[in-house]
Amino acid sequence: MHAHKNTQRLVDQFIAMAKISSPSRQEGRLAAYLKPELEALGFTVEFDNAGELAGGDTGNLIATLAGDPDIEPIVLSCHMDTVTPCIGVTPIIEDGVIRSDGTTILGGDDKAGIAAILEGVRRIRERGVRHGLIQAVFTICEEVGMHGAMGLDYSKIRAKRAFILDADGPIGQILVRGPAKDAIQAVIHGRSAHAGLKPEAGISAIQVAASAIDRMKLLRIDEETTANLGQITGGGATNIVTDRVELTAEARSLSNEKLDAQGTHMKTCFEDAARESGATVEVNIERSYFAFSLDADEPVVRHCTTAIRHLGLTPTLTSTGGGSDCNVFNRHGMKAIDLSIGMTDVHTCKESLRIDDLELTARLVEALIEFSDHAA
């Protein structure tokens, strides 16, 4: 792919951001960098109070650029936080690829998306292209449970159509389905006794847990649903019948209804095993986030496929097994999709980003803005 005359400007901006440490709940320095950058592009910048709710040093950044009211307004979104280790990132460029020096992550997840949004809007402005209202929403705490998106002040969001630039994989890939997830905790209460002198006086919470697990459907349930026991804790000395065991688990499904059924099934297994043994159990199931599913003919999807084809690429619609801000945005009445931007080996110290992919993502942002009016 031939470089754009401003590819270097894009790379320089990404590297400047990569060097700013922004672990979850400490996105303040990156937010302070972004505010004047966005204002220079004509955006009005404000922050909500999600940071207070999440215990962080800044809220979500919500930037608004006025536009033609006859053109569909859009949200372009990324998250500002990165996973660790992220202190002292030293980006290195070799053979058209940006990576860290191997001691930290790079932070392309999700600073590559932020850089592409800034550059894409900058090019639209420089070319004098007519556009609708554009909102850049840069969230906090995505990597630790989407607390930013969950605490976002949605009254400030003036568009219903959202493009989130936060997926690995080849550019042209659109995530249109994502799972719901339940966090499951069970505490089994048995009865302690001396294991050598009078074991029959005890009720082993470990045995109850084993009985519950034995009847439980786990791992791959069907093509849309998974479940996993992550941790079992309890017990101590071998001469004491264990009276308390705690289990943590999760279940996910692309169908909210199937997830409800799996959670009920797991809860019933615990309760039946406890009742049969004379033990008691407390099961707590919390919905971490809800599933989303958008059809190919949904306007936001058609809009995106038009932009991707304009770049000479073939759009592909796919699903993901993980949660992201996309789940939360869709839950709050927006039509949101997550776009792949070419990131590789994210969440590791081997993370890398091809400059060609960064350039292509900036062009994708340009196309998303430019083709807004063709999309409704």
Residues 163 and 58 placed together within one structural domain of the fold: yes
Residues 29 and 136 placed together within one structural domain of the fold: yes
Residues 185 and 172 placed together within one structural domain of the fold: no
Q: Is 142 a catalytic residue?
A: yes
Residues 238 and 104 placed together within one structural domain of the fold: no
245 within some domain = yes
Residues 249 and 314 placed together within one structural domain of the fold: no
Per-residue DSSP letter, 143: T
Cα–Cα distance, 32 to 26 (Å, whole number): 11
Residues 128 and 31 placed together within one structural domain of the fold: yes
302 within some domain = yes
Residues 202 and 149 placed together within one structural domain of the fold: no
**245, 262, 289 - which closes a domain:** 289
Domain count, the chain: 2
pLDDT of residue 11: 97
Cα–Cα distance, 224 to 108 (Å, whole number): 29
Q: Do 163 and 340 meet the contact criterion of CB atoms below 8 Å apart?
A: no
Return per-residue pLDDT of the chain as tens, 376 residues. Answer: 557 889 999 999 999 999 999 999 999 999 999 999 999 999 999 999 999 999 999 999 999 999 999 999 999 999 999 999 999 999 999 999 999 999 999 999 999 999 999 999 999 999 999 999 999 999 999 999 999 999 999 999 999 999 999 999 999 999 999 999 999 999 999 999 999 999 999 999 999 999 999 999 999 999 999 999 999 999 999 999 999 999 999 999 999 999 999 999 999 999 999 999 999 999 999 999 999 999 999 999 999 999 999 999 999 999 998 999 999 999 999 999 999 999 999 999 999 999 999 999 999 999 999 998 654 4
Residues 244 and 329 placed together within one structural domain of the fold: no
Cα–Cα distance, 370 to 118 (Å, whole number): 15
85 within some domain = yes
1 within some domain = no
Residue 202, domain CATH? 3.30.70.360
29 within some domain = yes
Residue 42, domain CATH? 3.40.630.10
91 within some domain = yes
**247, 264, 289 - which closes a domain:** 289
Residues 215 and 314 placed together within one structural domain of the fold: no
2 within some domain = no
What is the extent of the structural domain holding 269?
180-289
Residues 169 and 158 placed together within one structural domain of the fold: yes
State how far the alpha carbon of 337 is from the alpha carbons of 61, 84, 116, 355, in Å. Answer: 19, 26, 17, 23
Catalytic residue among 48, 81, 243, 370: 81
Q: Write out the two tokens for 83.
A: 């996973």
Q: Is 110 a catalytic residue?
A: no
pLDDT of residue 375: 42
Q: Do 34 and 114 meet the contact criterion of CB atoms below 8 Å apart?
A: yes
74 within some domain = yes
Catalytic residue among 142, 243, 359, 370: 142
Neighbours of 267 (CB within 10 A): 17
